Structure 1
Amino acid sequence: MSLSYSFKGKRVLVTGGGQGIGRQLVQRFHDDGAVVLTLDKNAEAIEQLQKELPKVSAVTVDLTDWEATKKVIESFGGVDHVVNNAVVLIMQPLMEVTKETASLHFDVSVLACINVVQTAAKGMIERGSGGSIVNISSIAAKRASPLTSMYAATKSALEMLTKSMSLELGAHNIRVNCIAPGLVAEITAPDTPPAESDPDMDAAIEKILARTSIKRAIDPNEVADLVMFLLSPLSAMITGESVMIDGGFAANY
């Protein structure tokens, strides 16, 4: 098989597809001819997405609402591939973490992922068609840093959840992997709120870049390339893995 694969006609579900990496993934799958289905709680982002890509099925839903999310995914019909991309990142010192912020991190990054995978995989199993799933983790699951305790904890949980999913779903020819990006370029863009208003984020970005071997942020398209590879038959025997894309950050002790 050559190192190329088309998702034309495949049904791909992307959570958090209204902005950031999710929006780039929606664009890439759309351009490749896939039937793209996406969820995001940001109504303005979904409205803009529908204007720009009217063929994409985009729905506003809060992933922390278990039943509402399940109903939307069921309404989409069959799904071949899933990307769990939705995320919460609230930077807080450990001693300032509240039950509410801790719960929100786990509700979006872990519990919502369980719900999405259960709902999508149920159809895959019933149809006997198999499928593939990629969960978006983070380098924060591998290396601790200040102010990100809850974010890192949920990403670590997501990586073990990925392994468990791969074990239980493998018998149905459903592969589950996750990727762990380092610093992605969208986070450093000058017109994004974190870069404008959060000095803690600025300091964290500087520390990350200082430790990377390749001295730049990761382009969202490079993240999309890895996601598409892991969803495709080109990675047919890869499952239960967490693949880092970090420019050499984790290699620098």
Structure 2
Amino acid sequence: MEISFAGKRVLVTGAGQGIGRELAKKLVSCGATVTALSKTENYLKTLKDECPPIKIVAADVGSSEIRAILRQHGPFDCLVNNAALAILEPVLETKEESFDLLFNVNVKGVFVVSQEVARMMVDNKIQGSIVNISSQASKCALRDHLAYCASKSAVDMMSKVMALELGAHGIRVNCVNPTVVLTAMGRLGWSDPAKAGPLLQRIPLNRFAEVEEVVNVVLFLLSDKASMVNAVEIPIDGGFLSV
């Protein structure tokens, strides 16, 4: 199945590395005009070197300036909310600062970016698509993940409300919920067999996800091939949540 984004303007947040970076490059190869947003300018510069057609924007989705920045670069036909933080602390040691920071980026950031992009879609009569990168952690309690699990659960429900209200404008909103993804950081963080082993045992496919496996699902949800898919949460977890 070939997917084309010719003539489509796509915003990808958290595009400096990992899933967002590979997704941005793949979208360009499918014909999209891509705006890659990240708070880390060095990552964006190397992305631009690898893929010159990409437009880069250095900005933090949790900043007070993000609305004005989005207005300068929009409108967009598609949005991927990929920017997120993970701070792992046990329940009794979770700091209020950590909790606030995760919710500011993982939840409020998704809300603000989605609201501004959706407003531009409505103003320009664009029947667009929004995909939010959630996590299997939104559905399953994980040790040391109090704030992270809570933030991703909030993303799931927020996405459903967006889908409900924006559907009248022809705007679809969906989530993907990956297990551990083997980005550079994922490989480093889960390289210890003692840590990875118990989680792998709960995954019927007995492995973690590759970046491309997440990118491919996001591409489908963004595309016109998924024109009747709305308000779903797609696990990319090898069966972890289903058995």
The verdict on a shared fold, with TM-score over 0.5 as the criterion, is yes
- Does the Cα contact within 8 Å between 2:163 and 2:171 map onto a contact in 1? yes
**Counterparts of residues 8-87 of structure 1 (less than 5 Å):** 8-66=6-64, 68-87=65-84
Question: Across the two proteins, how many residue pairs are aligned to each other?
Answer: 242
Gaps of 5+ in 2: none
Q: Distance in 1 between matches of 2:224 and 2:29?
A: 19
Q: Distance in 2 between matches of 1:5 and 1:229?
A: 8
Offset at residue 75 of structure 1 (A):
1.3
Q: Distance in 2 between matches of 1:126 and 1:5?
A: 26
- Does the Cα contact within 8 Å between 1:46 and 1:58 map onto a contact in 2? yes
Offset at residue 134 of structure 1 (A):
0.3
What's 1:205 paired with?
196
Offset at residue 85 of structure 1 (A):
0.4
Offset at residue 203 of structure 1 (A):
4.4
Gaps of 5+ in 1: none
What's 1:157 paired with?
154
TM-score by length of 2: 0.95
**Counterparts of residues 119-198 of structure 1 (less than 5 Å):** 119-186=116-183, 187-189=185-187, 192=188, 194-195=189-190
Aligned-residue identity in percent = 39
Q: 1:123 corresponds to which letter in structure 2?
A: M
What's 2:111 paired with?
114
- Does the Cα contact within 8 Å between 1:12 and 1:82 map onto a contact in 2? yes
User: In the alignment, does 2:231 pair up with 1:240?
Assistant: yes
The alignment's C-alpha RMSD in Å is 1.5
- Does the Cα contact within 8 Å between 1:183 and 1:205 map onto a contact in 2? no
Q: Distance in 2 between matches of 1:244 and 1:80?
A: 24
Shifted more, 40-49 versus 204-213: the winner is: 204-213
Shifted more, 96-105 versus 50-59: the winner is: 50-59
Q: Distance in 2 between matches of 1:204 and 1:140?
A: 16
**Which of 85, 96, 100 is equivalent to 1:99?**
96
Secondary structure of the structure 2 residue equivalent to 1:24: helix
TM-score by length of 1: 0.91
